[in-house]
A and B are shown apart, each in its own frame.
Chain A
Amino acid sequence: MSIVTTEQGFLARAGLDRLIDALRARDYAVIGPRVRDGAIVYGSIGAAADLPTGVRDAQSPGRYALEPSPLARQFAWANGPQALKPLVFRPRERLWASWRTPTGELHFGAAAEAIEPTAVIGVRACDLAALELQDRHFLREPFPDPAYRARRDALFLVAVHCTHPADTCFCASTGDGPEAESGFDLALHEIDDGFIVAAGSDVGAAVLAGLDLPAADQARMDAARAGVAAAAAAQSRALPSQDLRATLLERLESPHWDAVAERCLSCGNCTAVCPTCFCHAEFDEPASDGIVSEHYRQWDSCFTAGHSYLHGIVIRAETRARYRQWLTHKLAHWHDQYGRSGCVGCGRCISWCPVGIDLTAEVVALAGEGKA
């Protein structure tokens, strides 16, 4: 464990508003964790008082709940259902519009949405790793996605190293947390009396310099290191390997896929909360005037019948095949396509599965079945 950059300073807890004000002074819209509808999700942050103090999450397979916490910390919780994904890859987004003139001419216009520079406070290491994976997908040549690119470039990311993992977390086993190592502009270690702030980019360093903070002393640095070390040690779940490609592809016909299918509802919750899932559908929505039609993309899931529809047939008609598709893509073919596993250990698919299917347990069970 190490503080990543050499530039660091100590920000007392009462001074957190200075950071928020500094970001706003640079014309960023500031968003961060907020309690809404019984979960911690991203929302607009006006002041540090908006952050979720005095609550923490209780997560287990199929369960997420917020409970009171005696800790006077703002970030003493593990991730809620949202990752950074909706900020860059919108759940629903207009790509273009077409309109027909009375003489039958057809015209196309690209969607032009103003994109606001946005600072996100409280980003976790797993979600930074997931964002980096989404970058590899959406920004890949020769067709980098312009809407994704514009939103991605508008982000200023303030990471907070995780000190309170959930029962469902396993980022230590995937190598993606609990400490954020890269991909942020600023990173905060939360300790009892405040934050150790470090910069991870030039613009982050400029913001940090503007705060004019005293350097953190050794005792605080030690407390920060102890916090993330304890968070790694507290994780009870793990994937058996960071490269499960061979393990899974040797078991494409395992009877265990049927065993999962007996529990899986094929609802797609896991793909909606997964920070790396990128599948989306494209479709047209005609206006009732018959003149304008809008072309949208919207998050899709490999658990739907429509996902594998092909001129009249559904290739993956059975839940067994859909769960196999999801797990083997995430943990096996992501290595072929993007050079690493598609799982960052955030555990959301476990908490938000309505029947509590645990991906780590299913992998262990599959591996134990032997090759098939």
Chain B
Amino acid sequence: MTLHELPAPAEIVERTEESASIFTLHLRFVDPARQAAFRSSPGQFNMLGMHGVGEVPISISSDPDETGLIGHTIRAVGRVTHALATLRPGDRVGLRGPYGRGWPLQEAEGGDVVLVTGGLGCAPVVSVIDYIMRRRARFGRLVIIQGVKHAEDLIWRQRYEAWACAPDTQVWLAADVGGPHWAWDVGPVTVLLDHAEFDHSKAHALMCGPEPMMKAVAERLLADGMPPERVWLSMERNMHCAVGHCGHCQLGPLFVCRDGPVFPYPVLAPWLRHRSL
């Protein structure tokens, strides 16, 4: 067994309640050497194991430069994530990773960066925001676009408000269904692209969210003149092994866990065209 395959125990140091069904676990490997050796880049994921229940792939939402804790923002939707939702500080999980290829942040330097996320798709992208904020001078404008189904699904409202105040940063939010305290747009995220100001010819777009949303946004960006190879999507599949063996994440010629989860649009486009692939 190699290091990559055997999980190691990690302790929940902090737990943040983000919404009624979304929570963040801030983890630290019990073994200090393993913790010190852990390096990830924004967009990669870990396998989180609940003892006696199973493992799930969860993207890393914490700042990659902050080696103290590893953050995973999780929505309780399935058997394992409901079990993970019961954990409290001091409890332990199995952790292995990081896996996959993350966002193309070096390629994106020097131009504008447009982040378009839907629902909990914001989780793997928040580490990108932290990354750019720490290296602000290397990037142009930062456009943060987030869509949710219902107004009450929005998490990290205060963070969005803080980011909106940062220099050269735009924050645009939309909910399919608004509410009494919803001060932003109502409608699909594509309407927010009307407001956003960035240079299509030099920008990179990084997206994470439901596939129909990403497809619609990608088509809109391409129609507006963005080169397709600068449009990046983070794909989701139910990885069991995370190392390209189990076959559950196959999409066309790709294994999402190994070849992705982040892909340039031209690689995905032939396969996004077909339903149930």
Contact = CB atoms under 8 A, between A and B. Distances in A.
Given A104-B90, A297-B241, A321 B253 contact: no
Contact of A143 (B4, B54, B91): B4
Interface string B1-21: 110111111000000000000
A300 B91 CA distance: 32
A310 interface: yes
Given A96-B7, A98-B94, A108-B8, A284 B2 contact: no
A138 B5 CA distance: 13
Interface residues on A, range: 35 or more
A96 B236 contact: no
A333 B2 contact: no
A329 to B, nearest CB: 6
A284 B53 contact: yes
B261 interface: no
A104 B94 contact: no
- Most chain B Cβ neighbours within 10 Å, of A253, A280, A284: A284
Chain B at the A interface: SS class: loop
A106 B7 CA distance: 10
Chain A at the B interface: SS class: mixed
A104 B91 contact: yes
Interface string A322-350: 00110001000100110000000000000
Interface string B239-277: 011011111101011010010000000000010001111
A281 B238 CA distance: 10
Contact of B253 (A143, A315, A337): A337
Nearest to B241: A282
Interface residues of B, number: 45
A312 B250 CA distance: 18
Interface stretch (A77-85, A229-237, A301-309): A301-309
B7 A108 contact: yes
A300 B277 contact: no
Contacts of A312: 77-78
Interface string B216-253: 00000000000000000000111011011111101011
A106 B274 contact: no
Which 3 pairs, one residue from A and one from B, show the smallest C-beta to C-beta distance? A336-B253, A279-B247, A286-B52
Interface of A: 95-96, 98, 100, 104-108, 110, 137-138, 140, 142-143, 145-146, 249, 252-253, 278-284, 286, 290, 293, 295, 297, 300, 302, 307-312, 315-318, 320-321, 324-325, 329, 333, 336-337
6 contacts: A98-B94, A105-B30, A145-B245, A300-B247, A325-B277, A337-B253
